[in-house]
Structure 1
């Protein structure tokens, strides 16, 4: 049963919001993010046995990875929203794609959370995608808790990893636990707040909760000897160098609490879950497009941060994920769709746990509502009740770097082809660009990473039964055409003008040199960076 729908009676939205902890799990690929997601659910006792990617070592596949491509490749391509109760709190945990090709989906998820858990691989430390995600969190002011994972395997020294976080991303590390034993020889952790040793007992394939064994310092020294002495010495060094916890710095997103463990072994997960409950920020009033905060106890409002189709292969339905911002959501209520001003029914509202679903009757600020068969909703849309109208800022699109013309290989499936392309665009799987010159039968797909094309082809063939061919284009630079009357000037042998599905005219160039040449030939040409582009 959904944690948000236990009584069927509406409670105080402010009080319920204070019980919510809504966060994303983000990391570089292969850092163990989906495994951590399930380990947290295991410790909250909402599942009885954890899985792992590919079901290695006799374990099942993770419940938050459900697409065939995810199971085959062992990576998360989509985001999954999990909700469960723990210690009188409601946890809304959003798992995200780890692969950089799907960073746009991760960005959308980060617009819907109040904090994030960042995983670092003990052997690899900060990797390129990790750095990018930290930058997004910092830009949005999202507090980050760092979990250094895979301490049961050989890796780098703990102090070295903390120094890297400080030096490369400017976040001051504040370890809450400290490893006892070097990576690969993990006895447990020193809990800095209590000074106690927390040891772990191994379980078969890490499929069940690892039992904890707590010892006071003197008994810990007798148990693990030099490794305990070293951990105590390093913890004292941390205190002397400003590594103690500072709540103000954490909420200001200038420092990060750090914990150590192993998700696949379920070591240190309990401490992470407890710290999330204790430290993660609660939902707060969210600013609308006018910059005015929407108070938590105002009438219901929410914004759509993700649209996903095919989560239930037997029904081929479409789910819009909406983050509740204010008031109480009641299943069946009629809300206003801000983009159209039209009423929108919410009869089919669900709490989504991977592929598992429950009917959701009530939800509060911080919760994620899955609206089924919401064909009218797009990413960034606002829903609300009451007056005056409210609209939250949209979610910006990233500047695509890869482009391909797509067409169907079966003319008899043209109707399915058009429907599939439209749906992929609405979900944000790819951006769809069109022009009169290319026609409706040959739209251009634009992506941040090439793997998005693989997902698009897979879904077109398997979900919409419309086999396609793709022809990669040589463009790599895109700009917004600021003045549509300059279209003929910008559309030349050096460039091409296409319209995004939202009506934005984009100019595509092969490279930066070609763009600069165009600007030199036509200095009056108005070209702007794509929203979300850092260039």
Structure 2
């Protein structure tokens, strides 16, 4: 319990959304409030040099999308906030899923124009698996979008989420005049292209006051009165316990690009969001208040700084105190490791730290010791569970276009697939390298990074596989026979585990029926425990 004060002042969360919902813009506005950056970047424009703070890879700047999870820490009103900005693009969903294992709550950004989209549904499924507390920010209210009641109904129905409005909008699009804060009982007026500040806040405890009509006009004042009466009647006060259980999601309306409605959400977030939580391991639950250090690696990123061939492993501290230069136990390798330059992040900027506490995310300089899911402790042997490695859906053979760069290619493939955005398979008994990804865009990123960061030129050749399944059996001979007879469809992953590459669902079902002694697993979690 000796680190209780440090634990209680930390909030670790991820921002998730469908692409283009305004997630990276919202991230920047939060950093502005925390004083972590002075000017907002331009997310989409290639011509402007101030790019989005959290998008640090060259290809992200060119495409205007986030393809790797960025980690940023900043202070706001005495609270230390660890913010993880995740890729919105579905082709990088696996990186996002793993990031969700490292946070205690999420902010879900929904575009008021497009409403709930495919990627939003997938991400919320992962949050529901863990009962992760969710706050919803409905963005782009300054654009003509869906009716506010219809939008709330759609989110509740599509995402199976019980919503609780905390602010309420006055119109939308060109008619958008601001929001009424249902909790603080005040009106926040909107002016396009200005930074929301305290001067725009009008205190109105009683909506029947004539001041409301003066500020927004008779028609909108009356609509707001009716809306608020209805919303209050249905929802009442927010039950913070229900939010922490993942049962109720507070909702805020705003416009991230105009920095409007963001402060109201941030103020509520630091008031109600969960402090770091206890976690399950392979042998016992680890209480967040334990004195002894433990933590796990949820992400690896090669070449964070292209000038130096560095590789950073991102560690989430789960209990105790992480200390610079102290020896910790690497459970999988069964060896002691220490770190002389552990970092905290503000996107690309790194600061060396002396200590970190539960909830913090630390960057560790890695020479190849780490894999995703690795656990560090003060001596105890266990693994943190629930860090998934999913079956890819698209498979392509790597074709080396420059045999002189074979070594660079092999190093690049190993390092990039260690990051977890793609999986590397080697055909059983051969040298054919096959990359498996969740989406097409990942191949583009891998091809680009192999050339830019390792000087290796490749092309990809599509393979006729539909799914990768990790295979195991209690009968070693049966597994050996299966591997030999099906050698064209069997590969090893980069950890040496056997994988069956199925051509279709029919082939997979047939093999499962014909080989009852062999188990087929759709994630590699089986080998981690």
Instruction: Please classify the TM superposition score into its range, dividing by the shorter chain length.
Output: over 0.9
Query: Cα distance, 1:526 vs. partner?
Result: 2.5
Query: Cα distance, 1:506 vs. partner?
Result: 1.5
Q: Could you tell me which of 257, 265, 270 is aligned with 1:264?
A: 257
**1:144 counterpart residue number:** 134
Q: Map 1:108-127 onto structure 2 (within 5 A).
A: 108-127=98-117
**2:246 counterpart residue number:** 253
Query: Cα distance, 1:122 vs. partner?
Result: 0.2
The answer to which of 475-484 and 298-307 deviates more is 475-484
**2:413 counterpart residue number:** 421
Are the structure 2 counterparts of residues 240 and 494 from structure 1 closer, same or farther at C-alpha, using a change threshold of 3 Å? farther
Determine the C-alpha separation between the residues in 2 that align with 1:114 and 1:493.
43
Q: Could you tell me which of 493, 504, 513 is aligned with 2:497?
A: 504
What secondary structure, in the 3-state scheme, does the structure 1 residue paired with 2:175 have?
coil
Q: Could you tell me which of 479, 482, 485 is aligned with 1:489?
A: 482
Query: Cα distance, 1:229 vs. partner?
Result: 2.3
Asked if structure 1 preserves the Cα contact closer than 8 Å seen for 2:143 and 2:172, the reply is no
The answer to which of 113-122 and 279-288 deviates more is 279-288
Determine the C-alpha separation between the residues in 1 that align with 2:392 and 2:22.
27
Q: Could you tell me which of 39, 45, 58 is aligned with 2:29?
A: 39
Query: Cα distance, 1:363 vs. partner?
Result: 1.2
**1:7 counterpart residue number:** none
1:213 maps onto 2:198 in alignment: no
Are the structure 2 counterparts of residues 481 and 373 from structure 1 closer, same or farther at C-alpha, using a change threshold of 3 Å? closer
TM-score (norm 1): 0.91
Asked if structure 2 preserves the Cα contact closer than 8 Å seen for 1:351 and 1:360, the reply is yes
| Structure 1 spans left out of the alignment, 5+ residues | 1-10
Are the structure 2 counterparts of residues 230 and 295 from structure 1 closer, same or farther at C-alpha, using a change threshold of 3 Å? same
Q: Could you tell me which of 422, 433, 455 is aligned with 2:425?
A: 433
Asked if structure 2 preserves the Cα contact closer than 8 Å seen for 1:251 and 1:281, the reply is yes
What secondary structure, in the 3-state scheme, does the structure 1 residue paired with 2:51 have?
coil
**2:125 counterpart residue number:** 135
Q: Could you tell me which of 62, 66, 71 is aligned with 1:72?
A: 62
**1:355 counterpart residue number:** 348
Determine the C-alpha separation between the residues in 1 that align with 2:47 and 2:113.
21
**1:28 counterpart residue number:** 18
1:372 maps onto 2:365 in alignment: yes
What secondary structure, in the 3-state scheme, does the structure 1 residue paired with 2:351 have?
strand
Aligned length: 517
Determine the C-alpha separation between the residues in 2 that align with 1:516 and 1:462.
41
Asked if structure 2 preserves the Cα contact closer than 8 Å seen for 1:151 and 1:184, the reply is no
Asked if structure 1 preserves the Cα contact closer than 8 Å seen for 2:7 and 2:358, the reply is yes
Asked if structure 1 preserves the Cα contact closer than 8 Å seen for 2:178 and 2:187, the reply is yes
What secondary structure, in the 3-state scheme, does the structure 1 residue paired with 2:454 have?
coil
1:17 maps onto 2:10 in alignment: no
1:293 maps onto 2:286 in alignment: yes
Are the structure 2 counterparts of residues 186 and 410 from structure 1 closer, same or farther at C-alpha, using a change threshold of 3 Å? same
**1:4 counterpart residue number:** none
- Spell out, residue by residue over 1:355-375, the C-alpha distance to the aligned partner (whole angstroms, 9 max, x if none): 111112221110110112342
**2:160 counterpart residue number:** 170
Determine the C-alpha separation between the residues in 1 that align with 2:484 and 2:174.
58
- Spell out, residue by residue over 1:176-202, the C-alpha distance to the aligned partner (whole angstroms, 9 max, x if none): 001112344221111101322111344
